[in-house]
Amino acid sequence: MNEVYSKLLKCFDQIRKKTDFVPSVALVLGSGLGSFGELIDVKCTVDYSELDNFPVSTVTGHNGRFLFGYIKNTPVVCMQGRVHYYEGYKMTDVVLPIRLMGMLGAKKIILTNAAGGINKTFKPGTLMAITDHISSFVPSALIGQNVDELGVRFPDMTNVYSKKLTALLKRTAEKLDIPLREGVYIQFTGPAYETPAEINMARILGADAVGMSTAVEAMAARHMGIEVCAVSCISNMAAGLNKKPLTHEEVKETADMVAEQFQKLIYNVIADIETEEKTDSQTEITGDRVEIYTDGACKGNPGPGGYGIVIVSGDKETKISKGFFNTTNNRMELLAAITALETVGAFKNITLYSDSKYLIDGMTKGWAKNWKSNNWIKADRKKALNTDLWDRMLYLEQKHTIEYVWVKGHNGHEYNEICDRLAVEAAENPTAEDVVEG
Ligand code: HPA
C-alpha cells in the first residue's frame, strides 16, 4: 500500500480507538489563536505524541494536540499547534494532520496563520482573508505516488479558497464590525525571514502577505475535496518595509494583540457555518443573464435601501432574492451591490442597475481601482471609509462580467416594475437573510 496512506490509516485507527467523534469542520490555529480552545465545548483531546510517527512541532509556543468538540452546534476538530516544513519534516508529513482531519469527517477547513504584510496598505494587526496563494520554492505535498483514496493525480487549483466560505467570513466580519482585508498569500520555506529583495519579488508576483505554512495545507485539503477558508493575521510588515529587524517575539506580540478579534471572527464563522449550509447564500444559476437592482433603481422602494435580483432566461424572469438595509447612503448602495453579487455565486453575465452615481462612476471610471491616488476618494473622509467595500467590489468584478447601468432613482425605469414587486414582497415578508444591518 502507498506509504503515505498507510501512515494515515494507522493514525486514523489510533484516534478512532479513542473517540468516534465526527467533525464537520477542521480548524488550524496559528499564532495568536492559541487560547481559542477555551471557546470549544471539548469532548475529547488527542495529543500528537499519542500517534505513531505523527509530526510534532519543535517551535516554542505551539502546543501539539487535537481538540474534538463543539462550537455552538458545529462539531469541530481543532489543531492546537502545527508543524512546518522548515522543521525538517517531509512535506507529506507536514500535511498529514490536514489529511487526517479530512479522513475523520471534516468537509470544510479553516486555516489561520501569522504572516508578514507585503501590501503596503496593511498594518501589523490587519486581518486578511486569503483569496489565492503562490508557493515559492516550496515543494508540493502532492509529489510522489498519488494517494488515489484521497484525490486525483492532477487536481484543479483554480478555486483553492472557497468563495462561499470566504463570503461567509466577510459577512461575519462586517456584522461584527471587524475590519477584514483580502489578498494573496505567498509561502516561502523559512525558517529565516525573507530578504527585502525577496519581498520585493513577492510583491511584483502579486503577493499581499508572506508566511511559512498555509499554501501547502490548503493544497492538500483541496486535493481531497475539502472546502478551504484561510485568514492571516498580519503580525509584522515584511522585511524591508520597516527599519526594525524581524523577530519571532514581534510576531507573537502582535498576534496576541489582535487575538480577541481574531477569535471572535473565527468563532462566529464556525457557529454559523452549518446554518449557512442550509440557507445557502449562493445559488446555482442557469439562465442567460442576471439583473441586479440596488436601492433607488427600484422605483417606489418602500423601505430605505435594498436590492433585487432577477434571473433572465429567454423571456422568463425569475426572482431569486431581495434584501433590505436599514439605512440608505452610498456605503449601503455598495453593500447592496456586494451582497447581491455574492449571492449570485459564480454567475458571470450580470447587469447592475443603480441610481448611485458614486457606485457607477467609481466602477466604470476606474476611480475605485485607483482610490489610493485618487482625490475623489482621498479628499472625502467618508468616501475613504468605503475603501474596504471598493476592494470587495473590485474583487467581485474579477469573478463576473458586469455591465453597469446608471438609472435615475425612482423615475420609472422599465425594469423598475420588477424591482417594485421584489421590494414590496421583501417589506411584507422579511426573512432573516433579507435583513442586513447597515
Ligand atoms: N515572513 C514569513 N513568515 C512570517 C512572517 C514574515 O514576515 N511573519 C509571520 N510569519
Pocket of ligand 1 (CB under 6 A): 114-116, 193-194, 210-212, 235-236, 238, 246, 251
- Residue whose Cα lies nearest atom 6 of ligand 1: it is 116
Distance 59 CA to ligand 1 centre (A): 14
Q: Are residues 336 and 231 in the same domain?
A: no
Look up the domain containing 386 and give its range: 289-437
Q: Closest ligand 1 atom, CA of 116?
A: 7
Q: Are residues 274 and 322 in the same domain?
A: no
Check residue 388 and give its pLDDT: 65
Q: Are residues 254 and 297 in the same domain?
A: no
Q: Are residues 300 and 328 in the same domain?
A: yes
- Residue whose Cα lies nearest atom 7 of ligand 1: it is 116
Q: What are the grid coordinates assigned to 157, written together?
A: 487549483
Alpha-helix runs per DSSP H in 70-157: 91-94, 96-103
CA distances from 284 to 306, 319, 344, 353, 429 (A): 22, 13, 7, 21, 23
**Cell 486581518 found at:** 127
Single out the residue in 280, 297, 326 at which a domain terminates.
280
Distance 115 CA to ligand 1 centre (A): 4
Q: Is 404 helix (H, G, I), strand (E, B) or coil?
A: strand
Single out the residue in 221, 249, 280 at which a domain terminates.
280
Single out the residue in 280, 309, 344 at which a domain terminates.
280
Q: Could you tell me how many residues make up the chain?
A: 438
User: In this structure, is the dihedral angle defined by the CA atoms of residues 155, 161, 163 and 168, taken in order, positive or negative?
Assistant: positive
Check residue 281 and give its pLDDT: 43
Q: Which residues of the chain have pLDDT under 70?
A: 58-63, 276-284, 295-306, 320-329, 331, 346, 371-388, 409-438
The preferred substitution site among 127, 185, 193 for testing ligand 1, maximizing ligand atoms within 8 Å of CB, is 193
Q: Are residues 42 and 95 in the same domain?
A: yes
Check residue 299 and give its pLDDT: 46
- Residue whose Cα lies nearest atom 5 of ligand 1: it is 116
Check residue 328 and give its pLDDT: 53
Would you please indicate which residues are annotated as catalytic (active-site) residues? Answer: 31, 62, 84, 86-87, 114, 212-213, 236, 248
Domain count across the chain: 2
Average pLDDT, the chain: 82
| Amino acid letter for position 332 | M
Q: Are residues 148 and 264 in the same domain?
A: yes
Tens digits of per-residue pLDDT, 399-429? 788 999 988 765 444 444 555 555 555 555 5
Task: Identify which of 328, 347, 335 has the alpha carbon closest to the alpha carbon of residue 401.
Answer: 347
**CATH code: domain of residue 319:** 3.30.420.10
Q: Closest ligand 1 atom, CA of 246?
A: 7
**CATH code: domain of residue 241:** 3.40.50.1580
Distance 389 CA to ligand 1 centre (A): 27
Q: Are residues 317 and 272 in the same domain?
A: no
Distance 91 CA to ligand 1 centre (A): 19
Q: Is 77 helix (H, G, I), strand (E, B) or coil?
A: strand
Distance 192 CA to ligand 1 centre (A): 9
Check residue 294 and give its pLDDT: 81
Contacts of 345 (CB under 8 A, 6+ apart): 163, 164, 282, 283, 284, 285
